[in-house]
Amino acid sequence: MEEVIEKDSVALAKEFRTSFDSIKQEIHKVVIGQEDIIDLLLISLFSKGHCVLVGVPGLAKTLLIRTLADTLGLSFNRIQFTPDLMPGDITGTEIIEEDRESGKKEFKFIKGPIFANIVLADEINRTPPKTQAALLEGMQEYHVTTAGQQYDLDTPFFVLATQNPIEQEGTYPLPEAQLDRFMFNVWVDYPSFDEEKEIVNKTTSHHRVELSSKIDKEKIEELQDLVRKVPVPDSVLDYAVKLVSATRPKLESSPDFVKKYLSWGAGPRASQYLILGGKARALSQGRFNVSIDDINALAVPVLRHRIVNNYAAEAEGYTTVKIIKMIINTLN
């Protein structure tokens, strides 16, 4: 099997890139700009990861996610997270139903909105941790458990959560355990002047776009399996683990600025996601091999939500992004 993969690696990488580019092209019929954001979403999808998108209101986060689902031909559900949302509102609930023939009453499980291929957890930090945690089992295990019964989720399964970074009243910080389940923390920035002009022009006219599905479920799962088959040189594997290890302030080998400015570092899941993301990124560029450049390109979205800076860092203006870039510079 390995010989077949090695023999056909160029063709497989080319096929992956063709699918990747066609999906992006279709998304761009609706979404203006956001090139890097779309790349990260697709890399996460093909790596079987999940994303949290952080950005101010009105930056088309929901539109982007819905367009992605339409382009992939996948089922889509949006959950608006509010303070009164309950876990059963996400996973589903049991109701008592009477059998018309026998007259007997029995419990019937009604599936919740988590039972979709792409789930948008909108403003996830507006609901208490107990309800936020209702997503955890599905994100990690691809099933949910209710009243002792296990229900499998349809695959591919992709959770995209959004957060508003400027309005913190009435919000609940995401528990570290849940943050760690997200492969990428993606910051959605304002569009450029020309992009905003195009957005305004299209959204204030009769402009309509018909999207066509560029790929089916079976193909997505096939490409997800292909990502796992991409070989990783020992040097790249060593680099990824060193990069993650360098974020841990209690390690003697960590840089002095890490010990000074970070109170907590990233765990092994960060190393796993750097490698998986690096594989998908390499394929998206038509390569069947992972490079250190792939790891560096994904370091910020993988590590940003996994490291915690301290008061000294905040006082001196050292953000987590700045510290990650400093660590990369020390390793290169």
Digit-coded pLDDT (tens) for 196-223: 787 787 777 766 777 667 678 888 888 8
Residues 6+ apart with CB under 8 A from 309: 261, 262, 263, 318, 319, 320, 323
The arrangement of strands across the sheet holding 158-163 comes to 76-80, 118-122, 158-163, 51-54, 184-187
- The pair of structure tokens assigned to 180 is 């760690």
Positions of CATH 1.10.8.80 in the chain: 230-332
Positions of CATH 3.40.50.300 in the chain: 31-218
Q: What is the DSSP string of 77-138?
A: EEEE--TT--THHHHEEEEEEE-TTT--EEEEEEE-TTSSSEEEEETGGGS-HHHHGGGHHH
Per DSSP bridges, beta strands 51-54 and 308-309 are: unpaired
Q: Which CATH code for domain 31-218?
A: 3.40.50.300
Phi, psi of 143 (to 5 degrees): -155, 165
pLDDT of residue 170: 57
Burial 216-251, CB ≥16 within 10 A → b, else e: eeeebeebbebbeebebeeebbebbeebbbbbbbee
Interval 172-184 mean pLDDT:
80
Dist CA 28 CA 195 (whole Å) = 12
Q: Which CATH code for domain 230-332?
A: 1.10.8.80
pTM > 0.85:
yes
Q: Are 188 and 62 in contact (CB under 8 A)?
A: no
Q: Are 118 and 158 in contact (CB under 8 A)?
A: yes
Q: Give the residue with greater pLDDT, 45 vs 28.
A: 45
**Lowest-pLDDT choice from 116-130, 134-148, 317-331:** 134-148
